[in-house]
């Protein structure tokens, strides 16, 4: 699959449960024309047929290279980022929940569902395939949520992109992340304030911010219906280093706070 076809399919799947993304995209398209995507991100469970290492070949198959490795100890996650030789192609970030580091209770709940996953050959459509396990019951979702928001989100939403990212570098109306976030707020959307609205600094070469995730009614397996977080939209401003080369990587401290965009609270 070509990267263009991949991202077109991802976008359609994404806006199905993230209507704010299309509204925000149009907000910037009205003043800037085409809105360029900086990167996307995915979540998965470790120690399953769809663990991070099993997804890597699908990314490399599209011409990507591994860019970096990340370890989020507090959230019990590991991640990798991928970059394409053609820098107009969005970067990809994939993380996985290290379930064996969770409590016995959380491991048992997650394991009950992921045990339903089958070893199978997969293609690129796995990235918008949703759950590969039964719909969770509300009590299981809540119990996992108390320990890992990431794990609860994944139990309900499944394997699908959790955000696209507006490249502020490619906007023509502004090069200020503060102005971008203000426009988003003025349009009626909440932004992630964990660690401040802007994560990172010009000195760190990467500034990021994001909306808070959309929400949708979700009917759990026991028949209970609750509104849960779905996906969000990110905004990234990359700065040049001392040699004038624009930074293309990711910063763990920033990403750690961006994860909070899907918090249920």
Output the pLDDT for position 253: 84
Q: Is 175 helix (H, G, I), strand (E, B) or coil?
A: coil
In total, how many domains does the chain have?
1
Give pLDDT tens digits for 16-26: 999 999 999 99
Taking Cα atoms as reference points, which of 42, 38, 35 lies closest to residue 13? 42
φ/ψ of residue 215, rounded to 5:
-130, 150
Q: Which residues contact 203 (CB under 8 A, 6 or more apart)?
A: none
Distances (CA, A) of 197 to 176, 178, 179, 210, 229: 13, 8, 11, 8, 19
Per the DSSP assignment, residues forming a β-bridge with 210 are: 234
Distances (CA, A) of 62 to 37, 92, 94, 249: 17, 11, 15, 19
- The residue ranges of the chain whose pLDDT is under 70 are 265
Output the pLDDT for position 265: 60
Output the pLDDT for position 254: 86
Output the pLDDT for position 263: 83
Give pLDDT tens digits for 120-135: 889 999 999 999 999 9
Q: pTM, whole model, 2 decimals?
A: 0.95
CATH number for the domain spanning 163: value is 3.10.180.50
Output the pLDDT for position 168: 97
Output the pLDDT for position 238: 97
Q: Which domain holds residue 42?
A: 3-262
Output the pLDDT for position 257: 87
């Amino acid at each position: 699959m070509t990267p263009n076809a991949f991202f077109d399919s991802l976008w359609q799947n994404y806006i199905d449960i993230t209507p704010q993304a299309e509204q925000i995209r149009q907000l910037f398209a009205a003043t800037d024309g085409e809105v360029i995507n900086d990167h996307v991100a995915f979540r998965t469970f470790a120690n399953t047929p769809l663990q991070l290492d099993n997804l890597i070949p699908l990314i490399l198959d599209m011409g990507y290279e591994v860019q970096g490795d990340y370890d989020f100890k507090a959230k019990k996650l590991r991640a990798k980022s991928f970059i394409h030789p053609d820098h107009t192609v969005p970067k990809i970030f994939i993380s996985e929940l290290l379930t064996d580091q969770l409590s016995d209770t959380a491991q048992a709940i997650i394991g009950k569902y992921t045990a339903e996953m089958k070893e199978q050959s997969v293609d690129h459509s796995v990235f918008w395939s949703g759950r590969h396990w039964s719909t969770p019951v509300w009590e299981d979702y809540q119990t996992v949520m108390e320990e890992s928001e990431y794990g609860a989100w994944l139990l309900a939403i499944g394997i699908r992109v959790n955000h696209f990212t507006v490249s502020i570098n490619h906007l023509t109306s502004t090069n200020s992340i503060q102005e971008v976030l203000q426009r988003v707020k003025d349009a009626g959307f909440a932004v992630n304030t964990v660690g401040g609205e802007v994560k990172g600094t010009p000195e760190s070469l990467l500034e990021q911010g994001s909306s808070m995730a959309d929400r949708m009614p979700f009917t759990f397996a026991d028949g209970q219906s609750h509104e849960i977080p779905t996906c969000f939209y990110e905004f990234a401003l990359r700065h040049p280093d001392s040699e004038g080369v624009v930074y293309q990587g990711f910063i763990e401290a920033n990403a750690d706070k961006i994860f909070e965009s899907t918090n249920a609270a």
